[in-house]
Structure 1
């Protein structure tokens, strides 16, 4: 039984939403996340996860003052694909172009230096999905030698703000096939405040491909769901995927950890899977929750049941 007193979690890094931690072959952990100002991409690295909290912060890319990607830099992810580092992120155009916010599109930058905190970052342009609508939260993964792109995007024919899509990649910055929708908001816990499926993250374990994702508004209603498929299934066939009807991680009112979500997975000692996510520690948010900076990065072990399915537990307890 959980020791609910001794194991109450504290944030690893404060005021960093949409956290992404990658453990690279060089032995370092690399961290990136949305910064409260939404104006840059920031990286840090450490030999330990705990060390990321105090590691030097290096700004590797800053948004321009105007243009199609000059506002609201959201949810960067750092990936090492085909011999180079890439950061995938979403950004919105300046108001003089669209006259309103939240018109995000997805972009990529590349660095061939072994250490992504050094070297030069090259802007690779928009990652065009072939659908010109609001999109964000891209991640990538390789399976059976194929690089895949996984993200959230709005379909004007489907009620809601965003659905989850997958496509093969031609290069690490170009889509190589037609997007396939894997999930849309449909359950009650996915449509609280906003109809949202976003923030996908991929984990391969126990003969399965798991996709975690986040749903609902970014306040205490934010929660995480789960898709899964057999590792030998056709990942581009929606019928290959199962979807949990209930959230796998949600607010813990008892211990005051609210709206957990937008997670990533990394690895600790002995290949232990660690769950990385953000959450808030209070609900009395003034104004739009988007502008509140107090979404903090948490890290905890992921557990497993007898059937090889992940057990996320509570966001407040290790």
Structure 2
């Protein structure tokens, strides 16, 4: 008889009812956590010295939506970044009006805080991040690479059929784009266009001489999944030709472990900094009543990021390892 493989378990969330999760480990020794809240009406931060501590850490609300006009509806996908000695939160917000036609007409905005602890101090609205078009846009992330600050986001190009493509640009400061704005992927494969034609929710990670951008595709039900772009680390990231795109999704629904619609991930590091951690959201059931956006049960999961022999991130292997482990105990 061969060696029996350890049985997969149902994966357990680290934090329940938090979608679009973003976790960073700062030089002060704390993990910081932000995500979309089910009410879509505020931005909150929690912190702890280890990941498990985030479960019981009390969230601190740093900003609430306005009552009317811009910044007044559907506050989505905040990310917290420390840039040049200050904290920045990037997020998407829509607006309300008498006819409420703007509820899903999102734009991207930035908050700034000079305090060393982002749970304290005051947050200043730095305003909208302006792009080449005034159109639906969301899911911004930033990263520093080879001395430049980059911005990656999802946006609707009025001339292209579909809901959103991914774009990259450099930044002159944490709220201003400069120079070329390049589309690096648009929904084209069957797995990217189920329900909606969507590429969104990018996250950056580097290993050795390559850089990677994950992203999410299709509708936010059990069809939601992840794709992957990669480029050489010394290439021109503003040149679309530098990016190579996986023809197949790198993470999809896995009913054997009750994981449905995985996506909108981020990356952080272990407490020692030696391991990369993969943060993502998913549901634990398949069938949803009503609009998936208003189902609150997208939960935050964290797994050690494993790598393939050829140096690419192995998301399926990472989740399988999580399912074999004793989680968060």
* TM-score, normalised relative to structure 2: 0.94
- 2:315: which partner in 1? 312
In the alignment, which of 274, 279, 303 is matched to residue 277 of structure 2?
A: 274
- 2:145: which partner in 1? 143
- Contact (CA 8 Å) 1:13, 1:297: kept in 2 or not? yes
- 1:178: which partner in 2? 180
Higher mean C-alpha deviation, range 266-275 or range 195-204: 266-275
In the alignment, which of 149, 160, 163 is matched to residue 161 of structure 1?
A: 163
- For residues 138 and 283 of structure 1, the distance between their equivalents in structure 2, rounded to whole angstroms, comes to 28
Higher mean C-alpha deviation, range 43-52 or range 92-101: 92-101
- For residues 254 and 98 of structure 2, the distance between their equivalents in structure 1, rounded to whole angstroms, comes to 41
- For residues 313 and 116 of structure 1, the distance between their equivalents in structure 2, rounded to whole angstroms, comes to 34
In the alignment, which of 292, 299, 304 is matched to residue 302 of structure 2?
A: 299
**What do residues 226-265 of structure 1 show as CA deviations (whole Å, max 9, x unaligned)?**
0000000000000000000011111001121100000000
- For residues 316 and 294 of structure 1, the distance between their equivalents in structure 2, rounded to whole angstroms, comes to 21
- For residues 100 and 288 of structure 2, the distance between their equivalents in structure 1, rounded to whole angstroms, comes to 28
- Contact (CA 8 Å) 1:68, 1:97: kept in 2 or not? no
Are residue 191 (structure 1) and residue 197 (structure 2) matched?
A: no
1:313 and 1:99, CA in 2 relative to 1: closer, same or farther beyond 3 A?
closer
- Contact (CA 8 Å) 2:11, 2:259: kept in 1 or not? no
- 1:32: which partner in 2? 34
- For residues 115 and 271 of structure 1, the distance between their equivalents in structure 2, rounded to whole angstroms, comes to 24
**What do residues 92-128 of structure 1 show as CA deviations (whole Å, max 9, x unaligned)?**
0113376342100000000000000000000100011
Structure 1 residue 9, shift from structure 2 partner: 2.1
- Contact (CA 8 Å) 2:157, 2:165: kept in 1 or not? yes
- For residues 13 and 84 of structure 2, the distance between their equivalents in structure 1, rounded to whole angstroms, comes to 33
Structure 1 residue 8, shift from structure 2 partner: 4.1
- Residue segments in structure 2 that go unaligned for 5+ positions in a row: 323-329
The CA RMSD over aligned residues, in Å, is 1.4
Q: What are the residue-to-residue correspondences of 1:258-269 with 2, within 5 Å?
A: 258-268=260-270, 269=272
Say which SS state the counterpart of residue 69 (structure 1) adopts: strand
Structure 1 residue 204, shift from structure 2 partner: 1.1
Structure 1 residue 61, shift from structure 2 partner: 0.3
In the alignment, which of 287, 307, 312 is matched to residue 284 of structure 1?
A: 287
- Contact (CA 8 Å) 1:276, 1:300: kept in 2 or not? yes
- 2:118: which partner in 1? 116
- For residues 182 and 6 of structure 2, the distance between their equivalents in structure 1, rounded to whole angstroms, comes to 43
- 2:326: which partner in 1? none
- For residues 211 and 39 of structure 1, the distance between their equivalents in structure 2, rounded to whole angstroms, comes to 28
- Residue segments in structure 1 that go unaligned for 5+ positions in a row: none
Aligned residues between the structures: 317
Structure 1 residue 139, shift from structure 2 partner: 0.3
Structure 1 residue 206, shift from structure 2 partner: 1.8
Say which SS state the counterpart of residue 275 (structure 1) adopts: strand
- Contact (CA 8 Å) 2:18, 2:300: kept in 1 or not? yes
**What do residues 183-216 of structure 1 show as CA deviations (whole Å, max 9, x unaligned)?**
0000110011111000000001121110000000
- For residues 47 and 156 of structure 2, the distance between their equivalents in structure 1, rounded to whole angstroms, comes to 34
- For residues 164 and 146 of structure 2, the distance between their equivalents in structure 1, rounded to whole angstroms, comes to 28
**What do residues 274-297 of structure 1 show as CA deviations (whole Å, max 9, x unaligned)?**
100000011221100001000000
- For residues 39 and 2 of structure 1, the distance between their equivalents in structure 2, rounded to whole angstroms, comes to 45
